[in-house]
């Protein structure tokens, strides 16, 4: 799809993968709508983009609040138009053993990473189906391909995102709406931002290297998902090995392989988001 003059909504757009994707969309002359729940971050990002000469539409939105999602969606339809591309990027993570986290933390992670997508998709998919045109892009993770210690609920949400995306694609096909596309994006951990401090050993960095920055994921979203329509691009490409390994070797051997390249300890020095974008 050519994004020029297309209306694109990006959630979690004030920083990270969301902001990197916004910048690439603007370079291709898309009409971009930014959602983020952090008002100050969103205001600073929008001002920075305007200083660069870009015209964007933005709304503060907590995507876990379905009333706010639906109300914002109505405003978009009235003031901007029908959304052509929805990029569900908002996400969060709490690391550590599942039993060491509170119910509230785990519930929030489920709501941000998975449940919120139900609301945003229900808000914008009907119009796409009516027009038989559109694209829903959901940010999943390499954690949807293989589990990892200290990421149990995070991985569960990302497996859910993958299943949701695939099933919606099949529903659209069954309804005869092949013009509506669905993609899930599966990046390995990024060395800055939300997963700062995540680290594999020497062998792991060869077999499953981390991603240097957010723009590497944004590039895949633009080129492999939007432009080429790939269903589930992996970032980097070598992460496709995980899908192949799951099909070819027993789960017990996959666990041992993960230990060999340091997956058991990858979250032990996790630091999380640093200042910056």
CA–CA dist 111, 117 (Å, integer): 9
For residue 231, the tally of other CB atoms under 10 A from its CB is 13
- Please say whether the beta carbons of 12 and 90 come within 8 A: yes
Within 13 Å and on the Cβ side, how many CA atoms surround 41? 18
Which region holds residue 114: left if phi is over 0, alpha if psi is between -120 and 50, else beta?
alpha
Query: To which H or E segment does residue 184 belong?
Result: strand 180-187
Domain residue spans in the chain? 7-265
pLDDT confidence of residue 261? 63
Alpha-carbon distance values, 150 to 74, 106, 146, 268 (Å): 39, 12, 13, 9
pLDDT confidence of residue 275? 36
Strand 85-88 vs strand 7-11: parallel, antiparallel, or unpaired?
Answer: parallel
pLDDT confidence of residue 247? 79
pLDDT below 50 — which residues of the chain? 274-277
Q: List, for residues 83-137, the tens digit of each pLDDT value.
A: 999 999 999 999 889 999 999 999 999 999 999 999 999 999 999 999 999 999 9
pLDDT confidence of residue 71? 98
- Residue 154: active-site member: yes
| Candidates 70, 97, 119, 154; catalytic one | 154
pLDDT confidence of residue 148? 82
pLDDT confidence of residue 243? 79
CATH of 7-265, one of 3.40.50.920, 2.60.120.920, 3.40.50.720, 3.30.930.10: 3.40.50.720
């Amino acid at each position: 799809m050519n994004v020029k003059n297309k209306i694109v909504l990006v959630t979690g757009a004030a920083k990270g993968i969301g902001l990197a994707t916004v910048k690439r969309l603007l370079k291709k002359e898309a009409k971009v709508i930014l959602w983020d729940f952090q008002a100050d971050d969103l205001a600073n990002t929008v001002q920075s983009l305007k200083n660069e000469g870009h015209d964007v539409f933005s709304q503060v939105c907590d995507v876990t609040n379905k009333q706010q999602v639906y109300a914002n969606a109505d405003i978009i339809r009235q003031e901007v138009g029908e959304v052509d591309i929805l990029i569900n990027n908002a996400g969060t993570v709490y690391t550590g053993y599942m039993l060491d986290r509170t119910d509230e933390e785990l519930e929030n992670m489920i709501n941000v990473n998975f449940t919120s997508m139900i609301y945003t998709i229900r808000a914008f998919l009907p119009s796409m189906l009516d027009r038989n045109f559109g694209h829903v892009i959901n940010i999943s993770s390499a954690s949807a391909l293989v589990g990892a210690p200290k990421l149990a609920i995070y991985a569960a949400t990302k497996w859910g995102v993958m299943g949701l995306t695939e099933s919606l694609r099949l529903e659209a096909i069954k309804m005869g709406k092949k013009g509506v596309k669905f993609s899930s994006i599966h990046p390995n951990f990024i060395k800055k931002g939300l997963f700062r401090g995540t680290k594999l050993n020497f062998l792991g960095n060869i077999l499953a290297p981390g991603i240097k920055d957010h723009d590497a994921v944004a590039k895949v979203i633009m080129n492999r998902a939007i432009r080429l329509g790939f269903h589930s691009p992996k970032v980097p490409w070598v992460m496709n090995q995980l899908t192949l390994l799951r099909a070819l070797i027993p789960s017990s051997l996959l666990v041992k392989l993960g230990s060999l390249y340091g997956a058991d300890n990858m979250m032990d020095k996790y630091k999380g988001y640093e200042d910056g974008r």
